[in-house]
Every structure is written in structure tokens, then in C-alpha cells.
């Protein structure tokens, strides 16, 4: 392998949210941060080269996304997901979160209802509320091993104020890669009740074998006309700091309404380095990406094995995708606040608290394994020591 994911990269003193805020967040410098969803790996070399080359032209004025940018995006999705995207459908956004915000603003009125399947990526709550809408929760069903969508409940909570459902696919934090059948069921319910599907597919590339990601709108033309797909290279290529994403809308009417909203939010030109990095990643990044998936797969195996053999009181909900693991801590017999203190103050490990992801998240922690195995081992050994003392 050309790239070493094993290398321990020192990210301190780089204004890094994960590593440079440890003291501020946890009150103690020894905590290992394993929360926010970025990776501790150096980026793919051709991205660095493309940015360096652009920088040699030392004028950084307003820029636009050239045809080669669209070609790179289109061929990545075709090759990876057999999804046919046309250039006109692709709308640049400075991130998936700002994109989802503009989507909610474009298609809802204050008081409308937006469905979230919880526990789910927490900023969705804020985006819905900030737009004056109401979050309606359709909690996922957990059988102690795996999460499923509750289709029956979903159908029962839809009202004439329900405008959209935000689908997290793959699902952060529970790690599900929704199957085509599940997506079909969901899509049929939404079409029957005229509910728009906003599918956040930012984690689509981080899938473990043998699972397979299905782009929601690739299922049928009817689904494509009733959905918006939110994508970005940010997770796959670890370039979240460049704030670059693509919101993909086939339906022409929805696209026009979204354009009006982007204009209202003054989202016009991309960041010069974001667009260049994205084009380089999607054009040249496949080998690096394959190496990344090999490394993450080994990290996952190592972590599953460690919990099973050495910390069986904590149950890892086996993920099908994403580098974010969902740890069921019910058997530690603590309340939510003690659980948080246990990991931070005793184990000195900084996970995301499950309660931030909504209903039924209280007894869980979210662990990011996109880091060197040495760091994972250190964190797991700290947890093992403290669990053994309980
Ligand atoms: C499901 C999901 N959507 C969106 C984002 C953030 O996207 P962006 O940085 O492009 O706004 C994340 C980051 O963790 C995420 O997990």
C-alpha cells in the first residue's frame, strides 16, 4: 500500500476541533478525542498536489466549478453506485449541513413537520427547528443487535403538515446501510403520502463488506423525482475543512426552488480549494480510498474483537457502514450523566454522548475509529481497566 494509515499524525496546534479543544471540552488534556466525524489520516496525495499547483497562481479570486469538476463527480457516482447523474442536477453547497438547511427552507413553511428517524445525526434537529418547523420522530427499532425502520409507525405519524423525511443513509450513528428493499418500502410510503425524501448520503463510501450502498434516487425514476440526494467527499477523503458538497436534484421544479433558496442564502461561488480538492479526490483518489477501507475494516475487526473478548459488558452494535461505532452501555448500569463522566473522567476517552442523537440514545456512546490502531488500542485498554474496577 502506498499510503500509511498506520502513521500516527500529530494534529495538535492546527486549530483542529478534535485535538486542540480537548482541555476546553473535557477539562483534562489526557483525554483521547474520538468524537467528531473526521479522520486522523493524511489526505490523498493528488489532492495536496492539486492544491499546491493552484496556489502557485497566487491570485485567489472568485471561482466557478468547471466541466471537469462535474465529470469527476458524475464518474465517481457512476462507477461506485451505478447511478447516472446529469450535470444540471448537481448543486454546489458549502457542506451537507448548509445544504440540508437550504432544502428545509426551500420546501417548508413555518409549522410544517419534518420526520427524523432517531437516534440520528444531531444537527438535523437544529436545522428543522431553525426553519420554524416541527421535528416528528420515528424512532428506529432496536432488537438488541440491530436497528430497523419502523414503517408502521411512520405511516401513522404522517399528517397533512408533513413535508419531508430526512433519511440518513448510511445511518449515523447506528451504522445501518439500508437495503434496497427497505428503501423501496420507505419510498413507497413517501410517494403515497406526498412526503419528500431528503437523503443524506455523506457516508455512502464507507461501507464494510458484504454490504452495499444503494443511492435512494437510483432505485426508480419515480423515487428520483421525489428525492434530493446530499453528497460530499468530506468523510470519504477527510476534507471536511474545505467545506464542499453536492446537493443532487433530478426534479426540475425542486431544483429551481432550491436555486432560489441558495440565492437567498447568498451561496454562489465555491471555495477555490474546495472545488479543486473535490475534483482531484474523485478523479484520482480510488487507490487511496481502497487502502482506507482496508485499514478501517481492520480497525473495525480489532475493535469488535476487543469488546467481545475483553469488555463484554459494552456491546458494540456491529456497523455495516461509517467509521462511527455505536456502543450499547446498558449493562454498565449507569444513568446518562454517570455514563458520560465514566468515559471522560475515569477512562479519559472522549466519545459523543448518545443522548445528543435523540430518543433512545441515552445509554449509548459514539466512538470514531478513523484513527491509528495504536490510539484505538490505548483507548480500549483504558476502558477495560475502568470497567474491570466497577
Ligand atoms: C450524516 C451527516 N451529515 C452531514 C455531516 C456534515 O456534513 P458537512 O461537513 O458536509 O456539512 C455529517 C458529519 O458528521 C454527518 O454525519
pLDDT, tens only, 89-132? 999 999 999 999 999 999 999 999 999 999 999 999 999 999 99
pLDDT, tens only, 137-147? 999 999 999 99
- Quote the cell numbers at residue 374: 495504536
The dotted CATH code for 22-44+286-389 is 3.90.1150.10
pLDDT, tens only, 282-314? 999 999 999 999 999 999 999 999 999 999 999
Rounded to two decimals, the pTM is 0.97
Say whether pLDDT at 1 is over 80: no
Ligand 1: centre distance to CA 202 (Å): 6
Interval 1-18 mean pLDDT: 89
Interval 181-206 mean pLDDT: 98
Helix (H) / strand (E) containing 48: helix 45-56
Q: Where are the alpha helices (DSSP H) in 108-251?
A: 123-130, 151-157, 180-192, 221-225
Ligand 1: centre distance to CA 96 (Å): 6
Looking at the chain, how many residues does it have? 390
What pLDDT sits at residue 359?
A: 83
What b/e readout covers 343-376, taking b as 16+ CB neighbours within 10 angstroms?
Answer: bbeebbbbbbbbbbbbebbbbbbbbbbbbbbebb
Q: CA 388 to CA 385: how far, in whole Å? A: 5
The whole-chain average pLDDT of the chain stands at 96
The atom number, within ligand 1, closest to the CA of 322 reads 16
CA nearest neighbour of 256 among 100, 145, 106, 96: 106
Ligand 1: centre distance to CA 100 (Å): 10
Q: CA 229 to CA 247: how far, in whole Å? A: 6
Q: Where in the chain do CATH 3.90.1150.10 domains reside?
A: 22-44+286-389
- Quote the cell numbers at residue 265: 442564502
What pLDDT sits at residue 263?
A: 93
What pLDDT sits at residue 4?
A: 87
Ligand 1: centre distance to CA 312 (Å): 31
Return the CATH class of domain 60-284. alpha beta
Question: Collapsing DSSP states into helix, strand and coil, what is residue 76?
Answer: helix
Q: Which residues line ligand 1 (CB under 6 A)?
A: 37, 95-97, 121, 168, 172, 200, 202, 232, 234, 240, 245
DSSP string across 248-282: EE--HHHHHHHHHHHHHTT--SPPHHHHHHHHHHH
Using 50, 70 and 90 to split pLDDT, how confident is the model at 360? confident
Q: Where in the chain do CATH 3.40.640.10 domains reside?
A: 60-284
Amino acid at each position: 500500500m502506498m499510503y500509511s494509515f498506520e502513521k500516527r499524525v500529530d494534529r495538535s496546534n492546527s486549530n483542529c476541533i478534535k485535538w486542540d479543544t480537548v482541555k476546553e471540552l473535557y477539562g483534562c488534556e489526557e483525554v483521547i478525542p474520538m468524537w467528531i466525524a473526521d479522520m486522523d489520516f493524511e489526505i490523498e496525495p493528488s489532492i495536496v498536489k492539486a492544491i499546491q499547483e493552484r496556489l502557485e497562481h497566487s491570485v485567489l479570486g472568485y471561482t466557478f466549478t468547471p466541466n471537469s469538476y462535474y465529470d469527476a463527480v458524475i464518474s465517481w457516482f457512476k462507477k461506485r453506485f451505478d447511478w447516472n447523474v446529469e450535470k444540471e442536477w448537481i448543486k454546489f453547497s458549502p457542506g451537507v449541513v448548509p445544504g440540508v438547511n437550504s432544502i428545509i427552507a426551500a420546501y417548508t413553511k413555518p409549522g410544517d413537520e419534518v420526520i427524523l428517524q432517531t437516534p440520528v445525526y444531531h444537527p438535523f434537529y437544529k436545522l428543522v427547528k431553525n426553519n420554524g418547523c416541527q421535528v416528528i420522530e420515528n424512532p428506529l427499532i432496536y432488537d438488541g443487535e440491530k436497528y430497523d425502520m419502523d414503517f408502521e409507525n411512520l405511516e401513522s405519524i404522517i399528517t397533512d403538515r408533513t413535508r419531508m423525511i430526512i433519511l440518513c443513509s448510511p445511518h449515523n450513528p447506528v451504522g445501518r446501510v439500508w437495503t434496497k428493499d427497505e428503501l423501496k418500502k420507505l419510498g413507497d410510503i413517501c410517494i403515497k403520502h406526498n412526503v419528500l425524501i431528503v437523503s443524506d448520503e455523506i457516508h455512502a463510501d464507507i461501507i464494510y463488506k458484504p454490504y452495499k450502498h444503494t443511492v435512494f434516487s437510483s432505485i426508480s425514476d419515480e423515487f428520483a423525482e421525489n428525492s434530493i440526494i446530499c453528497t460530499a467527499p468530506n468523510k470519504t477523503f477527510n476534507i471536511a475543512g474545505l467545506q464542499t458538497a453536492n446537493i443532487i436534484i433530478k426534479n426540475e421544479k425542486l431544483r429551481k426552488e432550491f436555486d432560489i433558496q441558495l440565492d437567498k442564502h447568498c451561496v454562489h461561488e465555491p471555495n477555490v480549494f474546495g472545488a479543486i480538492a473535490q475534483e482531484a479526490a474523485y478523479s484520482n483518489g480510488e487507490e487511496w480510498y481502497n487502502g482506507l477501507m482496508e485499514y478501517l475494516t481492520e480497525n473495525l475487526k480489532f475493535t469488535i474483537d476487543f469488546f467481545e473478548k475483553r469488555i463484554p459488558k459494552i456491546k458494540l452494535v456491529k456497523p455495516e457502514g461509517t467509521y462511527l461505532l455505536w456502543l450499547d452501555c446498558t449493562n454498565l448500569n449507569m444513568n446518562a450523566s454517570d455514563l458520560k463522566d465514566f468515559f471522560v473522567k475515569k477512562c479519559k476517552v472522549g466519545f459523543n454522548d448518545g443522548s445528543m442523537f435523540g430518543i433512545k440514545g441515552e445509554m449509548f456512546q459514539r466512538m470514531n475509529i478513523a484513527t491509528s490502531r495504536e490510539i484505538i488500542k490505548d483507548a480500549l485498554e483504558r476502558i477495560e481497566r475502568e470497567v474491570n474496577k466497577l
